[in-house]
Structure formats: structure tokens, C-alpha cells
């Protein structure tokens, strides 16, 4: 027969084993929807009084950026608080992707009925390619890692890039919105529709935890300024014909 002390020790071992297994199970469940990289832990933003004031301020702002981005990522996966509307948010996200914009622009350019319409579509296509180039250059220079994506999200593996700063969707949304407002939109209702679309596209990447808040904010400002460059480099239809003849 086993002694009472042996029984107590065995019971304690069973309880400890069950606690460890339950903790492991909870960790596994929590890790399935961890959408921010493990490299951006709160401890990374610890500061020392001996550091320069610029470094302290930068780390403080980055900590706020990380906290706010995590609070907004309510559609990061199906288990998120607003995971039920994730398909709708992803549809809004796809509306700002460069592929449908390029396809629609080239189709309208080829099927244009007037020279003025073809000229606008030509410059829109050039603006989209300019946006891709500038965003790629900035991302390569900054090299800020994107938040970790849900591994079960197959489409994200094809369309989501490695670097996040700035948000390409935000730059494209701001640039295209300003382009449309300047060239095509002539009513107040269309103005509200275009601006609302640009805001929703930018917000969708925060809700899906694709970007940080600073990525989207800088992307909107960068895209807004890009249209000024497009206006300066505007290519007229006659100028294009002269270049082709040369």
C-alpha cells in the first residue's frame, strides 16, 4: 500500500501536469491569431535616461504606434472581435490593389472615345507605375518589417510584401483620389464617394493588421504629394505622338 505522502505527491504531479498542459493549450490558441511580429515586444521600447532626447521620443512614438495598431487590428483573423466582417473588409482592401486599377485603366485607354479621355487614362497609368516605383524605393530604404500575417491566409502570401513603410494601398488610394477629383469628379456626391473610398481602403489595412498606423499615415501624405508630381510630368496626347514618331 502507498503511504499518504506518496499519494499527495502523485496528486500534486497530476495537478501540475494538467496545469502545464492547459497553459500550453492556451498559448497555442492565442498564437493562432498573433498578428504582430514577435520582434516588436513592449520591452524593445524601454528607454534609459542617459539616451538622447530624440531617441527617447522616437521610442515613445513607436510604442504608441504599436499599441494603437494592435487596438485597431480587430479583423486580423476569424477569431478576432470583428472577424465576422473580415470578408467585407478584404473586399474593400482588394479595391485598392494595383492590379484591378491597371487593368481598368488600360482597358479604358484602349476603348476611349475621345482624345481627352485617352490622355487622362494614359497619365493615370503612368501615375500608377510611378507610385509603384516610389513606394518600392522608400520600402527598400526604410526596411520596416510588416506585422506577422495569419499563416492560413493564403492570398496574403501572394499579395502582402515583406516591408510595410509606407503603405502602398494608402499611397495609391490618396493619389488616385486626388487624381479623380481633379480630372473627372464634378459633383459633390462623387467627391464624397471618392474620398470615402480612399479612407476605407486605408482603414481596411489597419483593421486587417496589415500595416502600422504610421505606415498608413505617411502613405496618405506621400500619395497626396505624388499627384503634384504627376501634374508637373503630365504627358499630353500630342507630346506622346511626337515621341512615338521620333
Q: Decide if 120 is inside a domain.
A: yes
Under DSSP, is residue 163 helix (H, G, I), strand (E, B) or coil?
strand
Q: Decide if 235 is inside a domain.
A: yes
User: Can you give the pTM of this predicted structure?
Assistant: 0.71
Contact at 8 Å (CB) between 234 and 115? Answer: no
Q: Decide if 157 is inside a domain.
A: no
Instruction: List the pLDDT tens digit at each of the 246 positions of the chain.
Output: 445 554 444 445 444 544 444 444 444 444 445 555 444 444 444 545 567 887 878 888 888 878 887 887 777 777 777 777 888 888 888 888 889 999 999 998 888 778 888 888 989 999 999 999 999 999 989 888 877 654 445 444 455 567 788 888 899 999 999 999 988 888 889 999 999 999 999 998 888 888 888 889 999 999 999 999 998 888 887 776 666 666
Q: Decide if 229 is inside a domain.
A: yes
Residue 61 pLDDT: 84
Q: Decide if 112 is inside a domain.
A: yes
- List the domain range (segments joined by +) for residue 120: 52-143+162-245
Q: Decide if 203 is inside a domain.
A: yes
Residue 26 pLDDT: 40
Positions marked catalytic: 169, 211
CA distance 185 to 162: 35
Q: Decide if 129 is inside a domain.
A: yes
Under DSSP, is residue 218 helix (H, G, I), strand (E, B) or coil?
helix
List the one residue out of 157, 160, 134 whose CA is nearest residue 146: 160
Q: Per the structure, how many domains does the chain have?
A: 1
Q: Decide if 46 is inside a domain.
A: no
Amino acid at each position: 500500500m502507498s503511504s499518504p505522502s506518496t499519494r499527495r505527491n502523485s496528486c500534486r504531479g497530476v495537478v501540475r501536469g494538467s496545469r502545464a498542459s492547459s497553459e500550453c493549450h492556451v498559448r497555442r490558441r492565442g498564437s493562432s491569431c498573433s498578428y504582430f511580429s514577435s520582434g516588436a515586444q513592449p520591452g524593445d521600447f524601454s528607454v534609459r535616461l542617459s539616451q538622447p532626447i530624440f531617441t527617447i521620443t522616437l521610442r515613445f512614438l513607436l510604442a504608441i504606434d504599436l499599441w494603437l495598431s494592435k487596438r485597431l487590428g480587430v479583423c486580423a483573423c476569424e477569431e478576432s472581435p470583428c472577424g465576422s466582417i473580415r470578408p467585407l473588409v478584404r473586399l474593400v482592401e482588394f479595391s485598392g490593389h494595383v492590379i484591378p486599377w491597371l487593368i481598368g485603366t488600360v482597358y479604358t485607354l484602349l476603348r476611349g472615345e475621345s482624345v481627352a479621355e485617352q490622355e487622362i487614362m494614359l497619365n493615370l497609368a503612368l501615375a500608377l507605375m510611378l507610385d509603384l516605383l516610389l513606394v518600392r524605393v522608400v520600402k527598400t530604404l526604410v526596411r520596416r518589417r510588416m506585422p506577422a500575417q495569419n499563416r492560413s491566409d493564403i492570398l496574403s502570401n501572394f499579395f502582402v510584401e515583406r516591408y510595410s513603410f509606407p503603405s502602398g494601398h494608402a499611397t495609391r488610394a490618396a493619389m488616385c483620389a486626388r487624381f479623380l477629383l481633379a480630372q473627372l469628379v464634378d459633383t459633390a456626391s462623387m467627391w464624397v464617394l471618392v474620398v470615402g473610398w480612399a479612407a476605407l481602403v486605408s482603414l481596411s489595412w489597419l483593421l486587417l493588421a496589415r500595416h502600422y498606423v504610421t505606415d498608413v499615415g505617411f502613405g496618405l501624405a506621400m500619395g497626396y504629394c505624388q499627384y503634384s508630381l504627376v501634374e508637373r510630368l503630365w504627358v499630353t496626347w500630342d507630346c506622346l505622338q511626337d515621341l512615338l514618331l521620333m
